[in-house]
Structure 1
Amino acid sequence: MALKQSFSQKMEQKLSPQQIQLMKLLQVPTMELDQRIKEELEVNPALEEGKEEEEDEFEQEEYEEEIGEDERDFDIDEYLTDDEPAYKTSVSNKSKDDEEKSMPLSSGKTFQELMLSQLNMQKLTEKEVLIATYLIGSLDDAGYLERDLESIVDDLAFSQNVMTTEDELEGVLHYVQELDPPGVGARDLQECLILQMERRQDGDITRYTALKILEDHFDEFVKKHYKKITAKMEISEEDLKDAVHEIIRLNPKPGGSLKSSSKSLQQVVPDFQIVDEDGKLVLSLNGRNAPELKVSQGYKKMLQNYSEGAKLQKKDKEALTFVKSKLDSAKWFIDAIQQRQNTLFSTMTAIMNYQKDYFLTGDDTELRPMILKDIAEIVDLDISTISRVANSKYVQTQYGTFSLKHFFSESLSTDSGEEVSTREVKQILLEAVEDEHKRKPLTDEKLASLLKEKGYNIARRTVAKYREQLNIPVARLRKEL
């Protein structure tokens, strides 16, 4: 088969390194931007923190090098000129009060350490301590032991060389379950609640009734079949109500609070702030985690020295290339930071103007239907860019601090043909559930009928979807005595 050559034309769009860097920086929230800048300062000596200083003008002799044009593809002059306005990243709305930076908080002991510290108060043999330590290490984040005892017996034999039986393991587990907080070491929710209620027994008849409900009628309790419980236990509805009140005060995840306390706490820092000044919205951009950056004057002088020098040797050419690459990287990074700030400000300005009625009132029903495409068309940017801006960004208003995603929602039409936000419908759903009769909660079908009466023609399955998004359980599970 003969070989053939052919020409073809095609259009391709490739992102430059600068564009890629900008896209990555757009996704970074304010709290992480400071760390990102510190990393860049560490790896690039041509980048410095601080204001750009004015340089004395100097005459530069024409730099000529006896090498081919293909070996020299850049002009030193462009690195020696002072382009302060183009690379200045100061923010005009930054005040002294903004200089304080939030620090993450951390606690001392971990969940396992708090549990292990209590073993010393138990009368256990050396072998039982080893088993108890392994059991504590096997607890999940909520404090449950989800693995079956048979598997743990095998694990202890192979990994710890500890020979035991399921009965012995069960006995040690009871010791673990006596540790604080109450309910740890349980194998399911029922056992967890029973362990907690057993510790509350003080002769009170209500708490005894609550314990018997958990032990003998747990399925009926979970499914809220209250009539079956009152019939089987021969108690009044008022007695049942008091017992249920005792049960709902228990903690279904006893290890959760201790587990979460061992993690670092991170404060949300808003990227924007919107203030209502006599009916006029004023937007400001948080600049405290975006310090002023400049290109190193030392590196500029190094390049100047090369330009004034004699014929370059091979090692000098390598050094020149290195200096040039670092200066390039520094200028690109400063440009990217400035473009990031400009893009954030223009995008948030468009969102603020689009949702002006909401920012003036704080009423969710005033939110207009808004999708990424709407804002992209206003600021003349790609939808993917708007998505990056909205990701992990927050705005502080007089009604609270919200994620930018909070303001985006789909639209639907009312009977009158008016376009409204789905968030408005969700707010009406939420208020309807809050105001419902708790003995007879509204079903999805009744909620759909209620919305239709208000002019929102929504199917029952759509109501169910919105209810789930609002983390509202079905009507049966919302029933109260």
Structure 2
Amino acid sequence: MLKQNLQLKLSQKLSPQQIQLMKLIQLPTQAFEQRLKEEMVENPALETGKEDQYETDEFGNDEYDDYDDYDNERIEADDINIDEYLSDDEIPNYKLQTNNYSDDDEERTMPYAAPVSFHQSLSDQLNTFILSDNERDIAEFLVGSIDDTGYIRRSVADIVDDMAFTQGIYTDDQTVENILHIIHQLEPAGVGARDLQECLLLQLKHKTPTESIDLAIDILENQFDAFTKKHYDKLLQKYDISQDQLRKAIDEIEKLNPKPGGAYDSNSKVVEHVVPDFSIRIVDGELELSLNGRNAPELHVSKDYQEMLQSYKESKDRSNQQKDAVQFIKQKLDSAKWFIDAIKQRQETLFVTMNAIMHYQEEYFLDGDETKLKPMILKDIADMVGLDISTVSRVANSKYVETPYGTKLIKEFFSEAMKNDQGEDVSTIEIKKILQNVIDEEDKRKPLPDDKLAEILKEKGYPIARRTIAKYREQLDIPVARMRKRI
């Protein structure tokens, strides 16, 4: 049975301009600059730099801001004669070029580095070994099976089957094992290992044998589980050695690289520098906030485009082509005006939000002591500046601020509140800092378990449960007591 009914519903939708503004606010400085370049390429009516001295409004538009709507006008003019725009006196570029320059005039540029990839380096090293064609094919396949950390995460049986099905290379497990021993001779040492134990052993066996290295090899081969669990008493009893001898063997193991491939790749990676979006300085005991100048480009609407629009407005004869052109010009001018306005709104939003954060955490920015950071959530700042919580989140999530104590990620200043023994709200950042200090000062031969850490913090005025201590310790990337033990 069909029925008709009437429903009233309120809904809120963001306009395309609002969505674009939110995206601009979220961008950090470097990404914002890239977005700006893209917009400059896409919209020829948008220009950067200082504009000429003529009448403009606050957004850089001249007195011909208001466009008339020409959609209903009647076009009676003939088509534009394209030949009128062509010049007869143009000289081809090749006739204006000369080649009478000396070697001293040659432009010299810095050559680009072309680092050899990790896998290419391993393949090049295979050329130093005498191998048959079949063996070389197997070796190349094994090199291709090595991941970026330097490991082969597959069994020999799987590799044999894969070569047969995908490469048409038929071999057996023993042959692959033999070729794998050759791969293990390549640099960096430890490459081609199938697990951590084998990786560490390969690196130790590349070293010149000493008493400590021989003991370390024995421990990894026969007591690897006891070593990883740091059961040092068991190792001392097993090998009947002194603590000093065990310490030297463990030192040799700790010098090894558990990810040999990762060390190689790090040499060829481009170092990325953090560009702070804000800067906070202390001037005469007062905090001074500034927005990175790269976030405030000088943009204005193209004067040429406005003059073209004005020429069309004053002309008496208008063709269809001119009408289409003016619609394009109007669209680009509107887009340029909106983008300039969005940039200004972005600057104001960033500055107002960071200014509120700076004053909320004034004690920290004046002193630099992390224990003076107040509990602060997004809603606190949103209420202060009158913005939505999501907007504050966009500002804080990917922006950096340069302070007298280093460049900090803004979202790190936000934290939840907990009560101390005086009933006062303290920041979880403060508690984590104190927990970090307690662990740093502990006796590493007898690390403090979580329940003992909870007792110490309670004595310092922070009554926290053991499970909360465990949560904060994990957030600080600090292992459990047994794994912090040193001999």
Structure 2 equivalent of residue 101 of structure 1: none
CA deviation profile, 1:316-344 (whole Å, cap 9, x unmatched): 43322221111111111111111111111
Find out whether 1:350 has 2:349 as its counterpart.
no
Q: Is the 8 A contact 1:65 1:312 kept in 2?
A: no
Q: Could you tell me how far apart the structure 2 residues matched to 1:252 and 1:67 are?
A: 71
Structure 1 equivalent of residue 156 of structure 2: 149
Supply the AA of the counterpart residue of 2:343.
I
Tell me: higher relative CO, structure 1 or 2? Use CA pairs within 8 A at least 6 residues apart. 1
Find out whether 1:185 has 2:184 as its counterpart.
no
Q: Is the 8 A contact 1:153 1:163 kept in 2?
A: yes
Greater shift in the superposed pair: 131-140 or 172-181: 131-140
* Residue 441 (structure 1) shift: 0.5
Q: Secondary structure at the match of 1:306?
A: helix
Structure 2 equivalent of residue 126 of structure 1: 133
* Residue 263 (structure 1) shift: 3.0
Q: Could you tell me how far apart the structure 1 residues matched to 2:63 and 2:44 are?
A: 26
Q: Could you tell me how far apart the structure 1 residues matched to 2:276 and 2:68 are?
A: 52
Distance 1:59 1:283, change over 3 A: closer
* Residue 133 (structure 1) shift: 1.9
* Residue 12 (structure 1) shift: 2.2
TM-score by length of 1: 0.87
Structure 1 equivalent of residue 166 of structure 2: 159
Greater shift in the superposed pair: 407-416 or 285-294: 285-294
CA deviation profile, 1:63-99 (whole Å, cap 9, x unmatched): 9888659xxxxxxxxxxxxxxxxxxxxxxxxxxxxxx
Distance 1:5 1:366, change over 3 A: closer
Distance 1:432 1:5, change over 3 A: closer
* Residue 312 (structure 1) shift: 4.5
Q: Could you tell me how far apart the structure 1 residues matched to 2:338 and 2:67 are?
A: 25
Q: Could you tell me how far apart the structure 2 residues matched to 1:392 and 1:125 are?
A: 54
* Residue 2 (structure 1) shift: 5.9
Q: Could you tell me how far apart the structure 1 residues matched to 2:191 and 2:271 are?
A: 24
* Residue 383 (structure 1) shift: 0.4
Find out whether 1:45 has 2:44 as its counterpart.
yes
Distance 1:66 1:224, change over 3 A: closer
* Residue 119 (structure 1) shift: 1.5
* Residue 209 (structure 1) shift: 0.6
Q: Is the 8 A contact 1:33 1:290 kept in 2?
A: no
Structure 2 equivalent of residue 336 of structure 1: 342
CA deviation profile, 1:84-134 (whole Å, cap 9, x unmatched): xxxxxxxxxxxxxxxxxxxxx976122112222212222222222222222
Q: Could you tell me how far apart the structure 2 residues matched to 1:63 and 1:407 are?
A: 48
Q: Could you tell me how far apart the structure 2 residues matched to 1:435 and 1:170 are?
A: 48
Q: Could you tell me how far apart the structure 2 residues matched to 1:59 and 1:360 are?
A: 47
Specify every segment of 5 or more residues in structure 2 that has no aligned partner in the other structure, as ranges. 57-61, 74-111
Q: 2:366 aligns with which of 343, 360, 369?
A: 360
Greater shift in the superposed pair: 41-50 or 317-326: 317-326
Q: Could you tell me how far apart the structure 1 residues matched to 2:247 and 2:456 are?
A: 30
Distance 1:63 1:255, change over 3 A: closer
Distance 1:358 1:165, change over 3 A: same
Structure 2 equivalent of residue 474 of structure 1: 480
Q: Is the 8 A contact 1:66 1:311 kept in 2?
A: no
Q: Is the 8 A contact 1:368 1:421 kept in 2?
A: yes
Q: Could you tell me how far apart the structure 2 residues matched to 1:23 and 1:64 are?
A: 31
Supply the AA of the counterpart residue of 1:10.
K
Q: 1:249 aligns with which of 255, 258, 262?
A: 255
Structure 2 equivalent of residue 413 of structure 1: 419
CA deviation profile, 1:403-434 (whole Å, cap 9, x unmatched): 00110110101111111000000001101111
Structure 2 equivalent of residue 102 of structure 1: none
User: Size of the alignment, in residue pairs?
Assistant: 443
Structure 1 equivalent of residue 92 of structure 2: none
Q: Could you tell me how far apart the structure 2 residues matched to 1:392 and 1:128 are?
A: 51
Structure 1 equivalent of residue 91 of structure 2: none
Find out whether 1:264 has 2:263 as its counterpart.
no
CA deviation profile, 1:238-263 (whole Å, cap 9, x unmatched): 21111111111111111112123333
Structure 2 equivalent of residue 282 of structure 1: 288
Distance 1:297 1:368, change over 3 A: same
Kindly, what percent of the aligned residue pairs are identical?
56
Supply the AA of the counterpart residue of 1:49.
T
TM-score by length of 2: 0.86
* Residue 393 (structure 1) shift: 0.7
Q: Could you tell me how far apart the structure 2 residues matched to 1:458 and 1:14 are?
A: 44
Structure 1 equivalent of residue 97 of structure 2: none
Distance 1:373 1:107, change over 3 A: farther
Structure 2 equivalent of residue 310 of structure 1: 316
Q: Could you tell me how far apart the structure 1 residues matched to 2:67 and 2:237 are?
A: 101
Find out whether 1:403 has 2:419 as its counterpart.
no
Q: Could you tell me how far apart the structure 1 residues matched to 2:407 and 2:302 are?
A: 38
Q: Is the 8 A contact 2:450 2:466 kept in 1?
A: yes
Q: Secondary structure at the match of 2:290?
A: strand
Q: Name the Cα RMSD after superposition.
A: 2.2
Could you list the structure 1 runs, at least 4 aligned residues long, displaced by more than 6 angstroms after superposition: 56-60, 62-66
Specify every segment of 5 or more residues in structure 1 that has no aligned partner in the other structure, as ranges. 70-104
Q: Could you tell me how far apart the structure 2 residues matched to 1:362 and 1:256 are?
A: 35
Alignment map for 1:195-214 (pairs within 5 Å): 195-202=202-209, 204-214=210-220
Q: Could you tell me how far apart the structure 2 residues matched to 1:24 and 1:294 are?
A: 21
Q: Could you tell me how far apart the structure 2 residues matched to 1:221 and 1:56 are?
A: 78
Q: Is the 8 A contact 1:111 1:259 kept in 2?
A: yes
Distance 1:302 1:477, change over 3 A: same
Q: Could you tell me how far apart the structure 2 residues matched to 1:59 and 1:348 are?
A: 35
Q: 1:170 aligns with which of 171, 177, 190?
A: 177
Distance 1:175 1:328, change over 3 A: same
Distance 1:67 1:161, change over 3 A: closer
Q: Could you tell me how far apart the structure 2 residues matched to 1:469 and 1:65 are?
A: 60
Q: Is the 8 A contact 1:107 1:264 kept in 2?
A: no
Structure 2 equivalent of residue 135 of structure 1: 142
Q: Secondary structure at the match of 1:274?
A: strand
Q: 2:440 aligns with which of 434, 443, 450?
A: 434
Q: Is the 8 A contact 1:224 1:477 kept in 2?
A: yes
* Residue 315 (structure 1) shift: 3.9
Q: Could you tell me how far apart the structure 2 residues matched to 1:140 and 1:229 are?
A: 33
Q: 2:121 aligns with which of 114, 118, 139?
A: 114
* Residue 174 (structure 1) shift: 1.1
Q: 1:222 aligns with which of 228, 234, 248?
A: 228
Structure 2 equivalent of residue 25 of structure 1: 24
